[in-house]
Structure 1
Amino acid sequence: MTAAAVRNTSARIPTPRAAGDDCPAPQAASIPPAVAYQRVLHQLVRRELRLVADLATWAPADDAERIAALTAHSGLITHVLLHHHATEREAIWPALLRNLPPDRQAEARAAVDAWTAGCARTDHRLRDVSTAARQWAVALTPSARDAFAMACLDVADVVDARTADEERTFLPLLGAHLGADDWAAIARSSRCTLPARDQLMVLGLALEDACAGDRARVLEGLPRSARWAWRFGGERHYRATVVRLRGEPPAR
């Protein structure tokens, strides 16, 4: 597949799907928090990796300001996904395995081992995106731009497949065997190293096309200070950043 093959033929700026309240209230109320977290995080990274690839294909190859915006966004999503993988590897899957009945242990351990190997390959591809971003910023050429777009598209395809498999394999197990107390302990121990403004940006991206139940769950799970920061400045900054990046407001 050539770089030209990913070029967007439409003049319209690509955007994520419109938000939709596709979780009926009774169903949303019954979704365990660990499952909701996985689902929201997965749809965020799937959407944004593919979106930044689309945006890069029509970006001027030598516009340093535009390059900085796109590569910074890809860097943010890369950081989020690498942190997510580390949390799964170090906390979520070990907690799940501890809670599984003995007759499910062997099968689940084999699945986690396979996930770990595949995840390492995905993380390597994410670092390839970072390398391509730096090269574009230096070279300012169409070929460097297309290499960055292709790296984003390549990892987006991989993440689409891996998260779909993860949702089939692990989410039912998380829903059945990882309790709210276990998840609360994981959430407390997982430390995000992003600056506060970037954390609010990620919050906006997570809320953008989440259903009503997941949006409520995400916001209710935040400390009061974070909800306050989102309401009084965070949401406004998020929307302004999205407009600069995409050329139009977020879907929701």
Structure 2
Amino acid sequence: MTTDDKPAVWEMVVVHRLFRRELKLAPELIRRVTPGDTARAAVLAAHVKEILAGLHHHHEAEDKLLWPLLLERVTFETELVNTMEAQHERVADHIEALSGLIPAWERSAAAEDGERVAATIERLHDDLLVHLDQEEERILPLVSEHVTKQEWDRLGEYGRSHLSKERLLIQLGALLEDATDWERQAFLGLLPLPARVMWALVGERRYRKEIARVRVA
């Protein structure tokens, strides 16, 4: 395959960077919430729930579209793929736990409820880092060799199909925050012209305003 025919695995590294960053920052932000400040808790709860939903759909796409391909084509790495699936299950358990903990904290803004959320996110983050590191080091090279560009692109399409249209510019900003100049231009180049114009006119400014509200001291 030529370079243009190969899957753009760098896209997944950029997506992973978003999850690494936000799940690292979230626990300290949650612990700094003044007890009883439900307005602040609501801001952070909405932010974390959006990140967790994105992570869920990201893993769901791999479960449905990637692991079956690799199990079929890379039989010598069956144990590795099974490990990836098991790691997804551990991440899913943390997300499930948070689905109950976050609403309780959002309603109360109690310090003890916030600590439960923060500690669970820390456990999620630790398990996720192991998974993402291994995926980038061992799975992505296999993808480059054994998965077509069209098959790979379906993962991105699956993820985008679950995005809220009202939040697209915010989610694009989250992806681009830690992107290199090359990655930024490559991602923007994937967008239709009207979307690039919207990003330039209002998207970047809107993202900076929102993320400043999330990360305020």
Q: TM-score, normalization: structure 1? A: 0.77
Aligned to 1:66: 40
Matched residue pairs, number?
A: 214
Aligned to 2:97: 128
**Would you say the 8 A contact 2:169–2:203 is kept in 1?**
yes
**Would you say the 8 A contact 1:34–1:174 is kept in 2?**
no
SS state at 2:57 partner = helix
Aligned to 1:245: 214
- The structure 2 residue matched to 1:85, chosen from 41, 59, 63, is 59
**Would you say the 8 A contact 1:91–1:186 is kept in 2?**
yes
- The structure 2 residue matched to 1:106, chosen from 71, 75, 91, is 75
**Would you say the 8 A contact 1:57–1:146 is kept in 2?**
yes
Q: Residue type of the partner of 1:81?
A: L
Q: Residue type of the partner of 1:146?
A: E
Per-residue CA distance 1:185-216 (angstroms, 9 max, x = gap): 44345543232232221211111111122212
Aligned to 1:6: none
Aligned to 2:190: 221
Q: Residue type of the partner of 1:163?
A: L
Q: 1:225 to 1:86 in 2, by over 3 A?
A: farther
Q: 1:144 to 1:186 in 2, by over 3 A?
A: closer
Q: Residue type of the partner of 1:197?
A: E
Identity %: 30
Per-residue CA distance 1:44-75 (angstroms, 9 max, x = gap): 10110111112111111211111011111100
Instruction: Provide the C-alpha distance between the structure 2 equivalents of 1:186 and 1:194, rounded to a whole number of angstroms.
Output: 13
Q: CA deviation at 1:175?
A: 2.2
**Would you say the 8 A contact 2:90–2:127 is kept in 1?**
no
Aligned to 1:145: 114
- The structure 1 residue matched to 2:86, chosen from 117, 123, 126, is 117
Q: TM-score, normalization: structure 2? A: 0.88
What residue ranges of structure 1 are gaps of 5+ in the alignment? 1-28
Q: CA deviation at 1:142?
A: 1.1
SS state at 1:170 partner = helix
Which region of structure 1 is more displaced relative to structure 2, 48-57 or 223-232? 223-232
Q: Tell whether 2:51 aligns with 1:51.
A: no
Instruction: Provide the C-alpha distance between the structure 2 equivalents of 1:185 and 1:58, rounded to a whole number of angstroms.
Output: 40
- RMSD between aligned alpha carbons? 2.2
Which region of structure 1 is more displaced relative to structure 2, 108-117 or 63-72? 108-117
